[in-house]
Amino acid sequence: MGQCGGEHLELPPGGVLSWLGWCRERGYEGPMVPVWAKRLSVPDSETPARSKMAIDRLVARREVHLREKTLWRMLYETVGRAEEILGVNVEDLDFAGRRCPVKAKGARSKARRRGQAREDFVLETVYWDAGTARLLPRLLKGRTRGPVFVTHRRPGPGKVVSSRDVCPDTGLARLSYGQARALLDEHTAVRGPGTGWDLHEYRHSGLTHLGEAGASLLMLMAKSRHKKPENVRRYFKPSPDAIAEITSLLAPGDSRR
């Protein structure tokens, strides 16, 4: 966005600017972007960050199924996007290294060779820790292939599902984003359906807690796989207690004794 005379002008994204440059190089006429136009800062996200205690208590609840416990813990520890984690297959998991590759948001296709699969994308790696490591083997029960997170019922006879999205051993289909979101809402809604947590809150919460623990901006970018610092800032929402604690460092030398 740019500003002039009290009015705002939206500055095109990088892809549009590249296209305009391409037009100019080839002699095509295109709209001009004023030199005074300035891009506004990235707006803050409205997604809240949940406390670590709230997340631990939710995962520990007895009525929550093991599948949901594992998914929520994995989302939190990897700070991965829900679509990425739901898309993981058992054969992708590196149990010893506590990591796995995921097809990231906006992943570009690799340069294809003749006969290469069309869904061959550049992958990124996410990492988890002890909580997920304890739950995954219990969830899989010896399964060695197929989607990690599956539904409890086989797809109906009229439903077409990709072979990659069905466990070849059980016939169960991959859990969808909509199903996973509805399950989380079911366990967290307090004012009726649709008022519960969102799956994306685990990503926000994980990055916030890492930042509160002292992780540097570069480490947060590496963990979240963001390319721009301003995008990481949107996810970092320290709690009032964390802000109060760091503010105490500014007190006079004898005030903290």
Looking at residue 130, what is its pLDDT? 96
**What is the span of the domain harbouring residue 7?**
1-40
Residues 136 and 86 in one domain: yes
Same domain membership, residue 57 and residue 29: no
Using an 8 Å Cβ cutoff, are 51 and 240 in contact? no
Task: Examine the domain organization and report whether 29 and 84 are in the same domain.
Answer: no
User: N- to C-terminal Cα distance for the chain?
Assistant: 49
Instruction: Name the DSSP letter for residue 144.
Output: -
Looking at the structure, tell me whether residues 148 and 71 fall in a common domain. yes
Are residues 192 and 66 part of one domain? yes
Give the chain's residues under pLDDT 70: 1-17, 19, 30-45, 106-121, 254-257
pLDDT tens digits, 181-206: 999 999 999 888 889 999 999 999 99
Per-residue confidence (pLDDT) for residue 238, from 0 to 100 = 84
pLDDT of residue 146: 95
Q: What CA–CA distance (Å, rounded) separates 27 from 76?
A: 50
Q: What are the catalytic residues?
A: 81, 110, 200, 203, 226, 235
Domain for residue 228, yes or no? no
- Residue 238 is assigned to a structural domain of this protein: no
Do 146 and 30 lie in one domain? The reply is: no
Alpha helix ranges (H) inside 213-249:
217-224, 229-235, 240-247
DSSP summary character for residue 5: T
> Dihedrals φ, ψ of 250, to 5°?
-90, -5
Name the domain count of the chain.
Answer: 2
pLDDT at 120: 60
Residue given tokens 């709230």 in the structure block = 54
